[in-house]
Every structure is written in C-alpha cells, then in structure tokens.
C-alpha cells in the first residue's frame, strides 16, 4: 500500500474534511490530493525518475507536507533535513544523499548554495519567497502540473524517506523507510493501540524532519483525521491550540512534555478535549507523569 493511494482514498471519502492545519492554512483532503497530484506531475515533467531523492531543508509548514505528498505520489524519496542543523551538517547530508531536487526557504538559501556549489542539482525550489536565477518558487512549480492522478507506482518500489541519524558517534547515516512501514505503523498499529478514528484531531509538536512528526501526518492520511502542526514549539501556543482546535491527541517527545506540563497545570480546562498523549524518543520522567496525572487526569499516556 502506497501513501499516495491512502491520500486519494481519504479525498474520495472526506473531500471537505481538514487534514492539515498549520499557521493560517487549512487544507482539506480534497485539496491535499489535488495539490499532491499537481506536484507529482510537475516533478515528472521536469524529469524526475522513480527513486530520485528530494531534499527538504524546510521548517514545519503546510507547504512542506504538500511537497512531501507530491514526492510520495511521484515515486520520489523524501530526504527531510532539520533546519537546526549547522551548515557543515547540511552540506554533508546533501553531498551524501545525491539529491535530484533541494527545497528551502530564502532564509536558508546561502547554506544550500554553499553546500551544492560544485554539484549539478536539476531542481531548486524556494518556499515563501522570490526565486533567484536557477530557482523556481513552490507556487510556480505547483502551477506547472495538472491535478489528474499520476501513474501508479510499481509494486516492487516501496522506498519513501531517507532520514539521517543524529551523528553523535560518527558521521550521520541515512536510514531508508518504506511506504509499507509508515502505513503499517501510522495506519494500523497506532490506530489499533490508540483507538484513533476520523474524528480525532492530533497536535504535532515536533519537526517534520523527525520520524515522530511524520508519524502524526501518517495517522491523519491513514485514518482520515486532522493533524494540527506547530511551526515551532512553544508551550503557551501549544495549550492555546489544544483549546482552540479541540485537540484529542498530543504527539510529542518527553522533553516537550516537560516544557508543556507547567502550562497545563496553569490551565487544565484548556486541555479538556485531549484524551491521549503519545510520546517517544527517550525515557519519560516519572515526576512529569505524576504531575500530568494530577493536573489533567483526562489525558492518558502512551
């Protein structure tokens, strides 16, 4: 099962339902499917082959999710790069993954250009800004493709992402993940264990460059629910969003839970819609568990 098929399926069943909320953008399943088709067709028209790598050095945004979904439909391999990395780390990853395309914002243009100065990259896409020589804006790229579904991917091709390890004991290493792995985890295991339904609204607090963030997007497109993505984590903003968006599931790592707990203690009524907190990445401190249980007993911890 390919991720693009699940997006198309949700678009047929829930065309008007929100799937992505980020900053001032609210994207329905129908819109996500159409925009992913446009990008997939634009990538292909520019010569992208199945298995080509698309490096995405971008902060959390609705446009990032659209770009990733377009790549998934076209058979591209997404290489997410955290924007907090130092220029030498970015240069190493771009040199190692051999990208067909690189996506970035004007803020990070100088880092990218320095990293690829001796390389021939077919496609350079700039987000939220004007294009310079050799670049195309994200909006212009999407306008190049039509919204008809792209050809089905071969059954024997399954690679979806190439994520790099933190490199704490050596050079970062690229780890491949498949469509099947993301669908089995986000669409079957998580749904069964967390009892997710299409009525859930998930808050994603971590970067989409990390598996945790991508997992919450997978939950949404696999079961037809909504994911609210924070561009950058802030505890006050997070609790505001939980209250405003009627969040039912909070996705995070324990470090974020540690920062979020004092704000929940101040405003427990603001998180009354939340039924579950899903955490991964490190051991969860017992004292934080106890404080959460006391201040927000409605929130289960997974």
- What average pLDDT does this structure show over 141-150? 97
Is residue 167 over pLDDT 80? no
- Predicted pLDDT of residue 213: 86
pLDDT band at 58 (very low <50, low <70, confident <90, very high): very high
pLDDT tens sequence across 86-103: 999 999 999 999 999 999
Q: DSSP string covering 189-242, please?
A: IHHHHHT--TT-EEEE-S-TTSHHHHHHHHHHHHHT-EEEE-SS--HHHHHHHH
* ∠ CA 184-190-196, rounded to 5°: 125
pLDDT band at 194 (very low <50, low <70, confident <90, very high): very high
pTM: 0.95
pLDDT tens sequence across 199-216: 999 999 999 988 888 899
What separation in angstroms does the CA of 127 have from each of 8, 16, 23, 177, 260?
A: 25, 26, 15, 25, 30
- Predicted pLDDT of residue 114: 95
Is residue 218 over pLDDT 80? yes
Q: Is 301 exposed, middle or buried (0-12, 13-18, 19+ CB in 10 A)?
A: middle
Give the mean pLDDT of the chain: 95
- What average pLDDT does this structure show over 141-155? 96
Is residue 262 over pLDDT 80? yes
pLDDT band at 70 (very low <50, low <70, confident <90, very high): very high
- Predicted pLDDT of residue 203: 98
Q: Is 180 exposed, middle or buried (0-12, 13-18, 19+ CB in 10 A)?
A: middle
């Amino acid at each position: 099962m390919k991720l693009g098929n699940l997006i198309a399926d949700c678009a047929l069943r829930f065309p008007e339902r929100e799937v992505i909320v980020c900053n001032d953008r609210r994207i329905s399943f129908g819109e996500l499917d159409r925009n992913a088709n446009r990008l997939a067709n634009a990538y292909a028209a520019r010569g992208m082959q199945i298995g080509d790598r698309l490096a995405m050095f971008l902060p959390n945004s609705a446009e990032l999710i659209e770009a990733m979904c377009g790549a998934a439909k076209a058979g591209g391999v997404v290489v997410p790069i955290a924007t907090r990395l130092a220029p030498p780390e970015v240069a190493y990853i771009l040199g190692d993954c051999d990208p067909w395309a690189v996506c970035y914002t004007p803020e990070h243009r100088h880092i990218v250009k320095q990293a690829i100065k001796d390389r021939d990259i077919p496609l350079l896409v700039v987000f939220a800004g004007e294009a310079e020589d050799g670049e195309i804006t994200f909006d212009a790229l999407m306008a190049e493709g039509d919204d008809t579904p792209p050809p089905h991917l071969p059954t024997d091709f399954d690679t979806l992402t190439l994520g790099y390890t933190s490199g704490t004991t050596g050079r970062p290493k690229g780890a491949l993940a498949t469509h099947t792995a993301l669908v089995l985890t986000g669409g079957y295991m998580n749904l069964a264990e967390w009892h997710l339904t299409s009525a859930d609204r998930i808050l994603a607090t971590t970067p989409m460059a990390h598996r945790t963030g991508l997992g919450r997007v997978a939950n949404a497109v696999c079961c037809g629910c909504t994911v609210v993505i924070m561009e950058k984590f802030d505890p006050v903003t997070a609790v505001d969003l939980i209250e405003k968006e009627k969040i039912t599931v909070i996705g995070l790592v324990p470090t974020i839970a540690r920062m979020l707990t004092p704000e929940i203690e101040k405003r427990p009524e603001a998180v009354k819609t939340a039924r579950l907190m899903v955490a991964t990445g490190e051991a969860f401190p017992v004292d934080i568990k106890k404080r959460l249980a006391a201040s927000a007993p409605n929130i289960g911890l997974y």
